[in-house]
Each structure stands twice: as C-alpha cells, then as structure tokens.
Structure 1
Amino acid sequence: MSAESTTAHAVPAPRQDQPATASCWRDAVVYQVYLRSFADGNGDGIGDFAGLRSRLPYLVELGVDALWVTPHYPSGGADGGYDVIDYRAVDEQYGTLDDVRALIDDAHAHGLKVLLDIVPNHTSDQHVWFQKALADPDSPEAGCYHFLPAGDEPPNNWQSMFGGPAWSRTPDGRWYLHLFTPQQPDLNWANPMVAEDFDETLRFWFDLGVDGFRVDVAYGLFKDPEYRDNPGVYSPTLFGHGPEQAMSTNQHQVHAIWRRWRAICDEYGDRMIVGEVSLADLDQVALYARPDEMHQAFQFRLLKSKWGAPAFAATIDEALTAFGRVGAAVPWVLGNHDKARQVTRYGSGDQGRRRARAAALLMLALPGAAYLYAGEELGLPEADVPDHARQDPIYFRSGGKRAGRDGCRVPMPWDDRDPGVGFSPAGSAAPWLPVPPGWQQHAVRRQRREPNSTLALYERALTLRATHPALGSGAATLTRHGDVLQIDLAATAGAEPAVTCWINMGATGFTIPAGRLLLASDPAVRPPAGGLLSLPADTAVWVA
C-alpha cells in the first residue's frame, strides 16, 4: 500500500477566554431547515413554525445539536424570503413572534439550539427605507443604499449573481445596485445608520432567546467606494467567487462589522454567528473566522468538489490548513438550499446514493462542525420540477438556461402512505412546490422500517460521533492512496489514532487493514475473518 500524500492537522483548541458554550459550536452538527418545505402545520401548503415544532422530536432522534431556520421575515417573495421587508417581525404565512418563542422554548427543552438566518447585504424593495428613498432622493434613507445619478448606461460592469446587470433604474432615472434580483437593493454599509439598525436587530432576536445567526452574503456588505469595474467577467455560479468580483465583494472594511457583531454576541455570553463566505480563496474565507470575528465561516469547496480522491483530498487539506492558521475549526458542508442534491451531483441512481452515503461518513468524521441540509439524511435526489411550477428567480433571469434551486427545495417526505408525503395535514392546500412522483419511497416513515436505509446510517453515524472523542474533533492525518483516502483521527493532537475513516472513490475494490469495523456506508461490508478488509468502490468505513 503506497501513500501518495500525507498531511497531519491538529485542530486548534478554543481560546481560553471563550465561553464553554461558544467552543461547543466547534464540532456541533447543525441541521438546516428550509422553512417553506419542512413541515406545514396549518394546511396552507407552506411550511411554518407550527410544523417545525411538531417535528423537533425527529431532529432529536436523528442526533443533531442545533437547527438553522431559513428566513422567516415578511418578504416581497422575490427570492425565497431573502428579500426582507422587516427584520424584527415574522411573515404571517410562517406564524407569529409567539410561534418563534414557542419554537425556541421547545428546542431548548429538547437540548437543541436555534440559529436564524439574517440578510444584511440587501433588503426588499418594499422595505420602508427603500420606499422612502424612492420618494425622496435627499432622504436619510436614500443614503442607506447605493444610488448613482441617471445616465444611459449602468455605472459599471458589475453583474447580478442571478444573471444580468447588477444595476436597475428608479422611475426618476437613478441607478441602484442589486447583486441579486432588482427587488433586492444592496444596503450601503458605509452609512452608520445601517450598522446601528442591525445592532438593534441582533439584540431583538437574542433577547427573544435565539442562539445565533447564519449570515447571508457575509462577504458582500461593502463595495468599492469608487464603483470601479470588476476586472473579469462574472461566471454564473453561486459558489467559488473570485477576482472577477474584486470590487463588489470581500472589501476589507467588512471585517470591522464582524468584530462589531462578535462583541454583541459576547455581551450575551453564549451566542454565535456563522457566515456565508462564498469565496474561492480559503485563506480569505478563514479570515472571517478569526478569534474576534465570526465563530465560523462557511467554506464551500467540499460542496462544489467533483467526486474524486484528488479533489476531496486537496479540499480537506487546504481547509484544515487555512482555518488552522487563524485558530478556527472548519464548518463542513455537502449540501444546502442553493446546490443540487448530493445524490444527483455524484452520479444519480444507485451510484449517486452510494457516493452520497460515503461522503456523509467522510464529512461526519472530519474535525470541525458539520452542517446537514434537511433531506440529505434521507438520500433525497434533486427533484425534477416542471417549468410551470418553478419559483426560483435564477430560472427566470437566465431565460430558462439555468434550472435554479427549486429541485433541492421540494417538500420534505414524511409519510409514505400519503400522496402528499405527510408534508401537510389531510385535506390541505397543494404544496408550494409539487411533490415529485414516487417521493414516498424516500419518506421518513418508510426509512424507519428499513435497517439499512440512509436515515438509519445517519442516525448511527451521529450517535457514534457524539460518543467517540476522535470523531468531529481532535486531530486528523490525511493520506491518499490513489483513489482511496485514509484519514486517521485522534482525540487530541499527538495522541495515537483512535478511528480511521477510509473512503474508496475509485472504480475497483481496495484492501485495507481491518481493525474493528464501527460503521460502513455500504451495509454489505462485514467485519473480516482475517486482518484485512475489502473496501468496495464508492464506500466509506470507520474502523477503530
């Protein structure tokens, strides 16, 4: 057995002045709930807080530590709730403030923490500030956005991440900036009024009992004050943003905001923030997780890596190295509400399922936090949403050239006996996105009856991770043997490896030292009679 590369990483210990509850996030397993699609409690076809509360026991049984809820604020509906009208209220289709309080109380009683989504880069065009700015160009609120004088051409070459120019015109001819849809005008964070208002928003939800926030577009708040052209052409992808956006994202001033938000978190003693930092350079991403900034910063390299040992090994090594330099743990992500499901990305059908199961064991073994997207524990594929039912602005702004994100946002399947998969009560309105044909085969109820289901695999993996000190924390040594990765995991730096995660990303079997088999992504893998174990293609195992 020859090793092509070996890299050892010790995960930095938390700073001594951090509260114990802050350091516990470093290896937490967080479950992302896409609120509209998780569970409908009132029968209107839209997921809500009542439905989510009713499913909290499921999250406890699954074994996660916290849940992150996508935006619940009153919204213009242009981008799935990410165009916010009021940051201190609840959209009536999801419930009320009392429903949020009840969710937090119930979650805490179950031992779960609650993260909300916050959207500081832009508001809805229906936000009171933007409406006042439209009515009066000289109003204080106009200074909260990026308005530039009327002209025949957009002020620069900046492009929307959803397609088309990032500039639109007001009725009086002014240009305003929107890095997403025209209904999502970007805020001007150089204006102190913006920062002060968000301070109040953070405290409002912290006072309600929320444990933290996932911060949308955390790298995008500040823009080049001279509005100079970006140096390249934007590539229409949601991830891997690089120098082609050098003037419209990742400005150095943004780090002062995260220090400001971190100070507010520290006032409450046990709150956290995790940022969406969609940058190609992981050294730049890690800067957002320095000790006085965010507790965590998402890096999406693993999520966007194509199936293959070289790409996965390079991603893991680079992420552990970059975050280790700033003393931060890595938050790992394989799926979310913006990306096609793993089963489909990795090849669809049986091959995609096998690879998705193996990738799950790999991610859950790595030192750091793990973020799961609702439904990946069921092995959901990307759904084929009919064009007439699509909702995502990406589909419409690209003229149908890009399918958008609806396929990973269809309702969660709960009950295989119900044509509506138990998403809504009996006799309810049709769901906001249609339930795909055959969706019942993935339902929670059915997988509960199958000992080798993907749900059962996740439950076993999370139980082991919670009880074994070498999984999710400590130190990792990565070795690549061609198409096979070997990750030796120790409970603490310098200790002997206690668990090894092997993943075969090649097309043929591979023989490994057996040890004691803790878990395998392929249920056909059995403990060997001798001292070696045959690891099939597209399979991962944990051995001790």
Structure 2
Amino acid sequence: MEKDWWKGKIAYQIYPKSFNDSNHDGIGDLKGITQKLDYLKDLGIEILWLSPVYKSPFVDQGYDIADYYAIDPIFGTMEDMDELIAEAKARGISIIMDLVVNHCSDQHEWFQKALADPDGEYADYFYFIESDTEPSNWRSYFGGSVWEKVPNSTKYYLHSFHKAQPDLNWQNPRLRQEIYDMINWWLKKGIAGFRIDAIINIKKDLSWTSLPADQEDGLVAVQAALANAQPIEPFLRELTEQTFDKYNAFTVGEVFDETEEELQFFIGENGVFSSIFDFKQAILGQKGNGWHDFDEPTAEDIKKSIFQVHERTDKIGVLSTIIENHDEARGASHFIPHADVDTASKKCLATIALLRKGIPFIYQGQEIGMENQYFEAIEDYDDISTINGYQVALKDGLSEEEALAVIGKYSRDNARTPMQWTDDTYLGFSDVKPWLMSQQPNRTINVAEQENNPQSVLHYYRALTGLYRHDTYGSSLRYGAFHPLFEEVENVIAYERRGERRVQVLTNFQAKAQTLQLSQPIEEVLLNNLEVLDLDKDDCLTLAPYQAVVIAVS
C-alpha cells in the first residue's frame, strides 16, 4: 500500500450507539453498521471512523475504556468487529478507531489494581500524588477539580476529564509499552488507523503549579496548565515509531491551538500524524466562559477562519475538515442563521466544507441535513458536558429557562440522537425506544424520503463526493492547491482548487443575492445547488441567496 494512501479520501464518522440497531435493544451496534456499508459506499465513503466500541461503563459514552482489547457487549462481539472490517474492506472502505490513551476508565484493571495498592507498581500507571490538599487548582474539562482522593490513602489522583477517567502516566515506560502493544494488536487485526483523542493532554506540568483562577470557583481550566507542561515530542515520536509507522497507518489527531512549530511536528514531512482536524471553525464565537457566553459565527467569520487556516497549514501538511462531530452541535443549526436553515443553505454549507483542500469528514446524519434536537428538561440529557454547562449557566445568573435554551443550542447530545433512516416511530433506527431520543425529532429529515427526492440534501452530498472521482476534475479536488477568491465580497465564500485543471467553488452564504464578475469564462458547470444560473454575456454571475456553484474555468 502506498505511503500516503489516505490522501484524497472521503471519511465518515459513526457514533455506533446511535447509527443502526440490528438486535432491537434500542442501542446501535456493529452488525447494524455492517448492514449499512452499501449505503456508505454509495455516499462515496472510503474511510470510516468509529467512535469507541471498547468495553466501557459509559460514564463518558465509551471514552472511558475499561478494556482496550474487548468489544462492549452492547455493540456485539469481536467476531462482529472482524466481520465489519472484512466487509468494509471488500467495499474499499478502511476502518479507523478511536485511540483514547490520555485516560482510561476507573473500572480498568490497571486502576483497580492501583486502588488496591496505592504504593504498588500499578499506582505508577497513573498520577497518584502524595499531598495534604489538592495539589493544584486546575479545573477538569467537565467541571470541578481535576483531583480526587485515593480511598484509604493520603494521595490524590489526576483526572483531566471526569473523575471516572483517571489520566494515564506517560512518564512510565512500562505503561507506554502496554499502550504500544495494544495499538499494534489492533493494527495487526486489520484496522487502518486511528483518530487520536485528547492527545495533547498526555503532557503534564509535573510541578502541579496552581495558576490564577479564571472563574469565581477559584479554579483554572486544566488546558491552561499545558503551557507549562514538559515537551510532548519525545512521547509522540516514540508512539509513531513503535506503532503507526510499522503499519502505514492513517492517523488524525484531535489537536487544538497548535503553533506553527507544532504543526511541523504534527503533520509536516516527517510529522507524527497523517493529519489533524481543523477545529478553528468549530470554536468560532467561544469566549471561554461557558456555552452561555458565545457569539454566533457569521459568514465573514467562517470565511476568515477557512482562508487563514489554509494559508497557515497547506504548505506544511494535510488537514481533516469537519462541519460537525460527536462533540459538536449540528452544523446546520450552528453555522446557518436560524431563519435561513433550509435545503439550499445546507447544501451551500456542505459545498464550502467538502471541496476545501484536505480530508473531509462527514458525520452521521450530516448528509441528510439533520438539525439540533429538542429536549424539554435537563433530565432528558445524557451528556455530562451538557449537564455541567447547564450548572455553569445557572451559577452565572441565567434562569433555568435561559440555561436550558443555551445548552439546547450547543449540547453534544444534538449529534448523538439516532440516525434518522425513516419517518417511523423510532426513525428506522430501531423497533424499540432508543437509548437517547428527543421528544420532537424532525421526522421529515430522513434517508428514505431523500433517497426518492433527486433534489434532496443526500443526493447533493453524493454529487459532491462524486466530484472527487470525476475523470477530468477529480484529481484537482483531491490534491490541488487552495486559492481564495473574492475575499473582499462580503458573505461570499469562494475559492479555487488548482491542479491539472482549475475548479472554482462560489458560494453566497447569506439571505440576499450577490453579483460576481468572473475573471474567466465558465468552461463547465460541475454542480449547482439551485436549478437556476444567472450568468450574463459579460461573465457576471449573480448568485441567489445561499446558492453554491462549482465551475471549471480555463
């Protein structure tokens, strides 16, 4: 297999618990995914990322792993996993899994042995710190202190996330070797690589220095401590050499706020990962004080974010691009003004995202334009981050009604409700009530209806991915350079992909028309999300509200 086999591919993320239920228990499973592989192939998918399916108590929906070598029974068996890998491969689809090695579950054998003997060898698999008080004032990602008392001991253990997710001690070479052995076991089994979760957090400030508080609780976000942490480079270089390089694996890192120097290390010519996600667009509007302190991104914000990240990154390596994922609200509800959310605007957003330079990741349901869900009460939510966000909003003075409205817009549960296959009672996902479901799902958004509608969002996504395989222009979209166009035209997000041919992507991301003077005649219209094309004899193109046009020029 060629070294960079993953370049020019289209990826799809599945949240297994909510994709397809094959055994009628209300929870998605591996056999359910296998049943839908032909659907994914028809969508043009070549890489399939599965959120965690390992054995877990599901405190954080599988990102708390109790056994890295076992499939959780709710998803099926290891034989089901082997079948999925083989059936996907037969359709030209490579499987990648989540690699969660900053932390594990407190139910993992290692941690249980550490608790049984806080001075023994397994205690050194974690950060057990002898202290009379909490060693620092760091706040976990899910709220509250990162420190939890070790029972029957004078020690505290570190958890950057939930207290049921103790951080693994990467200082310990024996622990690192355990991780490498596990990774190689999965690669040998036949998966093609990993999406690497929260990897920046494996480096620590080992002095456990308290920092100035950033909120009234007297704590500071744990990510602030990363600035004083020891170098991460030796850990990741060793990880790559001991595992990924041996199998020519595709790896995509979850990395935030990387410097240009770090970009070189992560995805440069000799980078430790194949790619990293572009989260710059996803975090637009965040102010750092919770979901209730958030500005809605504008078209100009989105354009500036995209253009800046390509200018900074393309000369170094390959980005993986997203509209949404399991940790974000639905893109249609986040990036499109509420009054403008419709089929045209969803297609316009998809055009911007999928034809950028990089590896586009489509999240389940995005291809049919799924929107945010409706939950009546905080008790209806499952996500621990959502519940924490609600409490933060209340503490900052919002009413219960106001706090509920805020988390309703940004909750991760928006993306975790069942995939909508039909308009049936349980959305064609299951024959019984799903594990998580809003009271008022928009049943009109479903695969079955869109399969029969040539103008649907689903058909449009298939047309977008089809451009990647276009005999004449596909290579320019897969590998061509990215050049911004019409930067000065407000609310127009346009760019050219330039390779053997020149393909221009012209989108009008607003609710009023906009006229553009084209610099070259159109050779061919490759895609149009509307049925009209207003082009005069002088090559002036007038784009209707949320119109997206993809053209070839000489």
Shorter-chain TM range is 0.7 to 0.9
Aligned to 1:517: 525
TM-score, structure 2 as length reference: 0.86
Residues of 2 paired with 1:308 and 1:199: CA distance?
Answer: 43
Q: Deviations over 1:43-67 (max 9, x none)?
A: 1110000100000111001111111
Letter in 1 for 2:514: F
Aligned to 2:540: 532
Q: 1:508 aligns with which of 503, 507, 512?
A: 512
Contact 1:474 1:491 in 2 (8 A): yes
SS across alignment from 1:503 = strand
Question: Which aligned pairs between 1:81-230 and structure 2 lie closer than 5 A?
Answer: 81-152=62-133, 154-172=134-152, 173-230=154-211
Residues of 2 paired with 1:282 and 1:540: CA distance?
Answer: 32
Indicate whether 1:464 and 2:464 are aligned: no
Q: 1:477 aligns with which of 476, 480, 483?
A: 483
Residues of 2 paired with 1:456 and 1:282: CA distance?
Answer: 38
Residues of 1 paired with 2:258 and 2:283: CA distance?
Answer: 11
Aligned to 2:368: 378
Residues of 1 paired with 2:230 and 2:347: CA distance?
Answer: 39
Give % identity: 30
Residues of 2 paired with 1:51 and 1:535: CA distance?
Answer: 41
Q: Deviations over 1:473-524 (max 9, x none)?
A: 21121130322233111115xxxx6110112234431123372322123x24
Would the alpha carbon gap of residues 169 and 398 (structure 1) be closer, same or farther in structure 2, given more than 3 Å must change? farther
Indicate whether 1:258 and 2:247 are aligned: no
Aligned to 2:429: 423
Q: CA RMSD in A?
A: 2.4
Contact 2:355 2:477 in 1 (8 A): yes
Deviation at 1:314, TM superposition (A): 2.8
Residues of 1 paired with 2:513 and 2:534: CA distance?
Answer: 16
Greater alpha carbon shift after TM alignment, 62-71 vs 509-518: 509-518
Q: 1:71 aligns with which of 47, 52, 55?
A: 52
SS across alignment from 1:89 = strand
Aligned to 2:301: 311
Aligned to 1:439: 442
Aligned to 1:57: 38
SS across alignment from 2:67 = coil
Residues of 2 paired with 1:255 and 1:421: CA distance?
Answer: 46
Residues of 2 paired with 1:235 and 1:315: CA distance?
Answer: 31
Contact 1:217 1:277 in 2 (8 A): yes
Would the alpha carbon gap of residues 499 and 376 (structure 1) be closer, same or farther in structure 2, given more than 3 Å must change? same
Q: Relative CO higher for 1 or 2, CA cutoff 8 Å, sep ≥ 6?
A: 1
Residues of 2 paired with 1:192 and 1:63: CA distance?
Answer: 42
Indicate whether 1:390 and 2:404 are aligned: no
Deviation at 1:230, TM superposition (A): 4.0
Question: Which aligned pairs between 1:229-268 and structure 2 lie closer than 5 A?
Answer: 229-230=210-211, 233=214, 245-248=223-226, 251=229, 253-265=231-243, 268=246
Q: 1:331 aligns with which of 314, 320, 323?
A: 320
Residues of 2 paired with 1:75 and 1:243: CA distance?
Answer: 26
Deviation at 1:391, TM superposition (A): 1.1
SS across alignment from 2:233 = helix
Which portions of structure 1, spanning 4 or more consecutive aligned residues, are displaced by more than 6 angstroms?
none
Aligned to 2:413: 406
Would the alpha carbon gap of residues 346 and 392 (structure 1) be closer, same or farther in structure 2, given more than 3 Å must change? same
| Structure 1 gap segments, 5+ residues each | 1-18, 237-241
Contact 2:30 2:84 in 1 (8 A): yes
Contact 2:97 2:195 in 1 (8 A): yes
Q: Deviations over 1:24-80 (max 9, x none)?
A: 323221100000000011111100001000001110011111110000111121101
Residues of 1 paired with 2:209 and 2:231: CA distance?
Answer: 17
Would the alpha carbon gap of residues 235 and 126 (structure 1) be closer, same or farther in structure 2, given more than 3 Å must change? farther
Deviation at 1:142, TM superposition (A): 0.4
Contact 1:345 1:352 in 2 (8 A): no
Deviation at 1:311, TM superposition (A): 2.3
Contact 1:224 1:248 in 2 (8 A): yes
Would the alpha carbon gap of residues 474 and 415 (structure 1) be closer, same or farther in structure 2, given more than 3 Å must change? same
Greater alpha carbon shift after TM alignment, 366-375 vs 395-404: 395-404
Indicate whether 1:302 and 2:308 are aligned: no
Would the alpha carbon gap of residues 534 and 65 (structure 1) be closer, same or farther in structure 2, given more than 3 Å must change? same
Aligned to 1:3: none
Indicate whether 1:33 and 2:14 are aligned: yes
Would the alpha carbon gap of residues 394 and 486 (structure 1) be closer, same or farther in structure 2, given more than 3 Å must change? closer
Deviation at 1:420, TM superposition (A): 0.9
Residues of 1 paired with 2:384 and 2:16: CA distance?
Answer: 18
Deviation at 1:288, TM superposition (A): 1.7
Letter in 1 for 2:444: Q
Deviation at 1:163, TM superposition (A): 1.4
Contact 1:220 1:250 in 2 (8 A): no
Would the alpha carbon gap of residues 475 and 209 (structure 1) be closer, same or farther in structure 2, given more than 3 Å must change? same
Letter in 2 for 1:258: L
Would the alpha carbon gap of residues 348 and 282 (structure 1) be closer, same or farther in structure 2, given more than 3 Å must change? farther
Residues of 2 paired with 1:285 and 1:336: CA distance?
Answer: 22
Indicate whether 1:344 and 2:333 are aligned: yes
Would the alpha carbon gap of residues 461 and 38 (structure 1) be closer, same or farther in structure 2, given more than 3 Å must change? same
Contact 1:470 1:489 in 2 (8 A): yes
Letter in 1 for 2:414: G
Residues of 1 paired with 2:468 and 2:14: CA distance?
Answer: 21
Residues of 2 paired with 1:214 and 1:249: CA distance?
Answer: 24
